[in-house]
Structure 1
């Protein structure tokens, strides 16, 4: 029973004739459940009100309404005050360190862009998201883009991100990220009925930094059996435990698994290269998608042009202008000696220009996550 509070019967109002008047100002202290004037009895505020059951509670308010707040918003990015004017790179940082902080030239425009990209990457998610990385031509860097995009998202976000290799032809995503693939998506499918928790799923994944990786089947004979229905089964399980799934698709656009990839994708990244064949294949990928009913997704997609294999004779400006007229954004990835080796990828070993390109790509992808962006640090 809630405790009811009533006005005291011995309380005397200021200025009444029932006692000596106070000599100084009297502070009125409100009493919970106090009656208004003397001619009305005191009634508890909650009298006759039945608390609503769980099913009767009002829905949370719109974005910005205090009722819409949740504990997930209390992160170090939102409540810790940071010195965003402290330079972190280049001569500005060197000058700041040498002078012990007494001379602070501030941060430059490049670092301001990085801060903005990182803020956009941390955008809140309304639900699990599927990001498909596609190309109908191999050898243009599709797996590299998938790996770097997954690593960048996982590095800058606090939720769970997984990279899925849906290539039916012995994909190399796990090899590029972890150097091994003891368990594969086929092993997960064989035991999908017993997956009840995150730890159950983690038995079939490997870890690269903060990114989980689910390898494709390395036996081509078994890999061909990976069809749309099985891909949807895998994604249904991953969506229960992971916030973002980045899929490295195969090169066969008419393959059944590709059909499932496109059907479930929320965002699309199309990979090409700064060569005649690489760029034309990327453009033909867009043509195929439009012809098969994905016009809206193409308009929202991002094209990545890799410079791992290019020539000075290529007019990169014209290629970029061509794709900018067809998609939402274009990102050029510079040649990077570390990525060009085809060996295991270490995020810290890439160049600053390469890291910036994938920061921009991750920010562009995160722009579609929905919800309100987190405030600037």
Structure 2
């Protein structure tokens, strides 16, 4: 095989950067690469590596690094690329492991069963017939014993036969070195990071029976509640296609309407409650809800604003929360509720009654974290449904929004360390904890998913997947 012929000399490292540049280092000699796009960078890098392989007259191993992670490939003198498998121990080491262990500074952990029972010499069975399509797809399954006595052919029911392939076909890589090589015609498997992202996308894209309500709570202001509501609503609406509404259930004037698009009207939750009988009538069509919510054109969810009466002379009651929730569950599959800072208020407590999944956002600041802890403690002390929500909560820790782009490297590191410390503190007490990097697009003005940096988008996708697992 080409891979087994490749040696570790020369040492070749290839880097593909997110900014469209690259670098190939051969035995310590660096070759910087700049081109008009990722494909051109990769072509130049492969040309350098292929020339080296051609000069040696044999394949070479290449360690790859890209924004998606690290890998190992093999390149032949003809420019053929394959993925390198981990090196296997030689037969001599299998028979006499003790001397090799003395030579290594630290022994490699070995499964005990492998020590006690020597591996049998592999035998290549001669196939009686060509490998079928199903066998090729399911090649990880154990083959049937060749020496078994042939069974007599019996007629089987067509109900017991299927021509469908049950195992899903893994799509090739789309990102980093692996994705670039795939686009050049070399089918490469996705990296673990890309597989993890695909699984998060699959999780948030699913539909579930019946409506679901998510409550985003923290008794301290400035804890990132509103950005959390917007991001979860945007991701779940975009990927699942489920009708989604973000509801500002603040007991005072909430800010969700300020951070999102306004429609052609200024209606709020009070207008929806006043029109609830009409909206719940069997003769009312689904489009009528647009009179009361504000559609987010890019992020595909609607916003139900809180009352913006300057007099503030109306407090939403528990009964009104019930009415609004009944209306929204008729028109939407998913409701994400923003909340105020008073866990004792009637509308806050009634929101918790309707909640299926609790989300507790917190910025990496001590008082916000302490307020989040007290919020969870309050719910846990109430027992029953409230305590169950607290135990299965998702905590989302965002790096301090007070951070600035001009912060020094040491200050940024301290901010990340503080976010990690707070996340680790919550981890034993809730179902999941997700950390979100600082992003200036979340600080001021309308919030848009497309305005976020790629790393922030990926972190929020992980957060939404953690929430969706609770549905």
- TM-score, structure 2 normalization: 0.57
**TM-superposed deviation, 1:92:** 3.8
Contact persistence 2:259–2:445 (CA under 8 A) = yes
Contact persistence 1:301–1:327 (CA under 8 A) = yes
**Structure 1: where are the runs of 5+ without partners?**
1-80, 370-377
Q: Is 1:287 aligned to residue 370 of structure 2?
A: no
**What is the distance in 2 between the residues matched to 1:176 and 1:84?**
40
Q: Is 1:367 aligned to residue 367 of structure 2?
A: no
Matched with 2:266 is: 182
**What is the distance in 2 between the residues matched to 1:302 and 1:191?**
34
Q: Is 1:219 aligned to residue 303 of structure 2?
A: no
**What is the distance in 2 between the residues matched to 1:269 and 1:223?**
29
Query: Number of matched residues?
Result: 286
1:328 to 431, 434, 455: 431
Matched with 1:163 is: 246
Q: Match of 2:466, SS?
A: helix
Matched with 2:440 is: 337
Contact persistence 1:253–1:259 (CA under 8 A) = yes
Matched with 1:269 is: 359
Instruction: Label 1:338 to 1:315 Cα distance change in 2 as closer, same or farther (>3 A).
Output: closer
**What is the distance in 2 between the residues matched to 1:270 and 1:330?**
9
2:174 to 78, 81, 88: 88
2:390 to 280, 292, 298: 298
Matched with 1:351 is: 453
**What is the distance in 1 between the residues matched to 2:289 and 2:254?**
20
Contact persistence 1:179–1:344 (CA under 8 A) = no
**What is the distance in 1 between the residues matched to 2:203 and 2:449?**
20
Q: Which has the higher relative contact order, 1 or 2, with Cα contacts under 8 A spaced 6 or more apart?
A: 1
**What is the distance in 2 between the residues matched to 1:295 and 1:86?**
44
Q: Match of 2:311, SS?
A: helix
Q: Is 1:145 aligned to residue 228 of structure 2?
A: yes
Contact persistence 1:161–1:244 (CA under 8 A) = yes
1:320-351 Cα distance to aligned partner (Å, 9 max, x none)? 222011100101111012112x2111211111
1:153-196 Cα distance to aligned partner (Å, 9 max, x none)? 00011221111111132212133221567221111112222113
1:194-238 Cα distance to aligned partner (Å, 9 max, x none)? 113321212111111311111111125347421211111000011
- Could you tell which deviates more after superposition, 141-150 or 108-117? 108-117
**What is the distance in 1 between the residues matched to 2:300 and 2:311?**
32
**Structure 2: where are the runs of 5+ without partners?**
1-166, 404-410
**What is the distance in 2 between the residues matched to 1:320 and 1:304?**
8
Could you list the structure 1 runs, at least 4 aligned residues long, displaced by more than 6 angstroms after superposition: none
- TM-score, structure 1 normalization: 0.71
